[in-house]
Amino acid sequence: MSLHTWTPDALRSERREISGRWWRLVEAQHRVSTMKLVDTVEEQSLLEDLLENSKRRFPPECDGLDYLLATPFRYDAAYPHGSRFRRAGFTKGVYYASAAVETALAEMAFYRLLFYAESPSTPLPANAAEYTAFSAAIDTPSALDLTQPPLSRDKTIWTDPTNYEPCQGLADCSREADVDAILYQSVRDPKEGLNIALLTPLGFSRKQPVERTSWRIRLANSGVQALCEFPMRRIGFALEDFAGDPRIAQLGEGSR
C-alpha cells in the first residue's frame, strides 16, 4: 500500500501499543529569565502567572500536566510555521520527542544551526547556551510506526529533509483513525534514531517529566558540541552530519 492509498480504516489496522520514555530539550532560561525583572520570589511568581494567563489556552486534556509537557498543545493562535506532522495555521498541537537523548540533541543542534544558516548576518553566539533535557512517559495502545512494514515502504517520503506535506497528510489521516502517536526515523540524527510525534496529551502516562539533565551546547561553523556534567557526557556533531539538508550548507560556505 502506498502513501496515496492510506485511509483512516487502513491506518486503524496498523495501530500498535507503545510504552516508554521520550526525550526533549528546552532552553534552561525558561524559568530564570524573569528573575532579573523582579526583586522577590513572590513578585516573580506573580509575574509568571500574569505571563501564563496572557498566552494561548490549553485544551482540557492538558489539565494537571506539567507545562513542559502541555506547552506544545496550546491553542488559540496560529502555528507560525509547519513542522513534520503539523500544518501551519490554527492546527492541533504535536509533542515531538526522541527515544534517546542523543537523538534529541541532534534535533536541537540541527535547528539551532538552521536558524543561523538562514540568518547569515546574525553571528553565532560566543558562549555555550544552557539547556534542560527531560524525558516524559508515554503509553498508548494506538500508535503507528513508520519504521516498520508496511508503513516503512514509504520511507523516502517520510524522511524527506524539507518537504513535510506527506507527513502532515498522514497526521491528518491518523487523527481521523484515532491514532495517538506516530513513531518515525529522525532525519537529523546521523545515527537515524527514533522520534515520536504525540498527537494528543492523553498519551502521557505521567503528569510530570520523569528525568531531567542539564546540558551546555556550543555552536560553531564547524558543528556543535554538547556537554552534560552530571553524569559527565560529551556529544559532538559535525556540520557534515547535517549535510542531507541543503539549507545547512550555507553555514559551511560562510566559514570558508
Domain positions in the chain: 3-254
Lowest pLDDT segment from 16-25, 35-44, 57-66, 92-101: 35-44
Look up the pTM and report it: 0.88
How is 175-199 classified by DSSP, letter by letter?
Answer: HHTT--EEEEE-SS-TT--EEEEE-
Q: What is the pLDDT of residues 232-255, one digit of tens each?
A: 999 999 999 998 898 887 676 554
What is the distance between the alpha carbons of residues 25 and 131, in angstroms, rounded to a whole number? 6
Q: Tell me the Ramachandran region of residue 113: left when phi exceeds 0, alpha when psi lies from -120 to 50, beta otherwise.
A: alpha
pLDDT (average), residues 5-24:
95
β partners of residue 181: 143, 198
pLDDT at 61: 93
Q: What is the pLDDT of residues 174-219, one digit of tens each?
A: 999 999 999 999 999 999 999 999 999 999 999 999 999 999 999 9
Q: What is the pLDDT of residues 152-161, one digit of tens each?
A: 999 999 999 9
The answer on pLDDT for 21 being more than 90 is yes
pLDDT at 256: 42
The answer on pLDDT for 53 being more than 60 is no
**Which DSSP state fits 6?**
-
β partners of residue 134: 24, 212
pLDDT (average), residues 69-92:
90
pLDDT at 75: 75
pLDDT at 77: 73
pLDDT (average), residues 42-64:
68
Mean per-residue pLDDT over the chain, rounded: 88
Lookup: cell for 198: 504525540
What is the distance between the alpha carbons of residues 96 and 211, in angstroms, rounded to a whole number? 17
Among the listed residues 60, 58, 53, 54, the one whose alpha carbon sits nearest the alpha carbon of residue 68: 58
Lookup: cell for 86: 503539523
What is the distance between the alpha carbons of residues 214 and 134, in angstroms, rounded to a whole number? 9
β partners of residue 216: 130, 227
Lookup: cell for 105: 540533541
Among the listed residues 172, 148, 167, the one whose alpha carbon sits nearest the alpha carbon of residue 14: 148
